Every structure is written in structure tokens, then in C-alpha cells.
Amino acid sequence: MDRLTLHGMKFYSHSGIHSFERDVGQLFEIDLDCYLDLSEASRSDRITDTVNYPKLFQTVKDLMEKSSFNLMERLAGEIARKVLVEFSLERITVRCRKPRVPVKGFIDYAEVEITRDAVK
């Protein structure tokens, strides 16, 4: 299977388990690894034979800005579900990162990674 990746998408969202996270909002980083057959696109050079990146980005952006979730696990799952419904993929891996995690200490980020297959 071939892979098309969008890495480092950044969105402001009102998700989190704490009320201050939902009230104020915070930055999230999203990566998508989209698995599909790219052989036709590699021959044709046509956008219709691959995934349209701007449309894929907009799909994730709309979900991030219009929804809120308590857990990154749910957020990642909803992104995977929506992308698999709207695009012709065989599999998707979604990584959600929260750079500013409210813990009493120092960490670079918290991250959730999920992989889902398209329902045939």
C-alpha cells in the first residue's frame, strides 16, 4: 500500500477534560498517514487519481474547529472516521498531539496514535 502524509497540521480547539481547556482552547497538532493505491496517480498526474490535500486539510480543520471532545482518543477516532467516510482510503493513521499538557512537570507533548481500516 502507498502512503500519503499530511504532517504538522495545527488547529486551535476547545477540547480537553478540564473546563479551562474547553473555555480557553488550545493548540493541537495533527498528522495523517493515508494509505491507498497511488499507482494510477503516479501514471496519470491527475488530482482526481489521488487525495486532494486542501480538501483533506479542510475536513480536519472543520472537525477541529466545530467540535470539542474530552479525550484525544475520541478526537483521533472522529478524525479517522470522518476522513475514511469522505475519501477513498484503505487505511488511515491519525496522530493527535497536545503540546501544552496540564501536568505538574515538564513534557514536550502528549500524543495519541490510532490506525483504522476502511469498512468494505
Catalytic residue IDs: 98
CB contact at 8 A, 75 and 22: no
- The one-character DSSP state at 87 is S
Cα distances from 26 to residues 42, 49, 64, in angstroms, run 38, 35, 11
Q: Collect all residues with Cβ–Cβ distance below 8 Å to 109 and sequence separation of at least 6.
A: 29, 97, 98, 99, 101
**Where do the H-state alpha helices sit in 1-120?**
19-24, 39-44, 53-66, 72-86
